[in-house]
Amino acid sequence: MGKRSIEERVEAEAQHLAEEIGKAEDQHSYQPGSPFSPTLIHTHAVSNVICSIVFRNRFYYKGQKFPNLTSAINNFFLDISSIWSLDFIMERVRMDPSCPQAFVDSFLMSTFQEMQNPQSVFKTKNLVETAIQLFFAGTETTSSTLRYGFLLLVKCLEIQDKVREKINRVIGRTHSPAMSDRGRVPYTNAEIHEIQRFANITPVGVLHKVTCDTHFRRYLPPQGADTDVWTALGMVLQDPKHFKDPGNFHPERFLDEEGRFKKNDAFLPFSTGKRECLGKSLALMELFLMLTTILQRFTLKWLKLQQQTDLTPRETEIGIGIVPPSYELCTLPREEGWQDTA
Ligand code: HEM
Q: What is the mean pLDDT of residues 327-336?
A: 77
Which residue from 46, 141, 230 has its CB within 8 A of the most atoms of ligand 1, so it is best to mutate? Answer: 141
Neighbours of 5 (CB within 10 A): 9
Ligand 1 pocket residues where CB is under 6 Å: 50, 133-134, 137-138, 141-142, 145, 201-202, 205-206, 231, 233, 269-271, 275-279, 282-283
Report the C-alpha gap between 223 and 299 in whole angstroms. Answer: 53
> Which DSSP state fits 113?
H
- Range name among 94-103, 127-136, 184-193 with the lowest pLDDT average: 94-103
Report the C-alpha gap between 139 and 93 in whole angstroms. Answer: 20
Bridge-partner residues for 250, per DSSP?
none
Alpha-carbon distance values, 304 to 265, 312, 330 (Å): 39, 19, 11
Read off the pLDDT band of 213 (50, 70, 90): confident
Bridge-partner residues for 162, per DSSP?
none
Cα of 86 vs centre of ligand 1, distance in Å, is 21
> Whose C-alpha lies nearest to ligand 1, atom 39?
275
Q: What is the CATH number of domain 4-341?
A: 1.10.630.10
Domain boundaries in the chain?
4-341
At residue 319, the pLDDT reads 63
User: 122, 110 in Cβ contact below 8 A?
Assistant: yes
| More confident: 26 or 335 | 335
> Whose C-alpha lies nearest to ligand 1, atom 40?
275
Please check the confidence at residue 141 and state whether its pLDDT lies above 70. yes
User: 45, 341 in Cβ contact below 8 A?
Assistant: no
Please check the confidence at residue 43 and state whether its pLDDT lies above 90. no
Cα of 1 vs centre of ligand 1, distance in Å, is 12
Cα of 303 vs centre of ligand 1, distance in Å, is 34
| pLDDT tens-place string over residues 255-297 | 999 999 999 999 999 999 989 999 999 999 999 999 999 999 9
| pLDDT tens-place string over residues 56-86 | 777 666 655 555 556 555 554 344 445 455 6
Alpha-carbon distance values, 114 to 11, 104, 109 (Å): 35, 15, 9
Read off the pLDDT band of 134 (50, 70, 90): confident
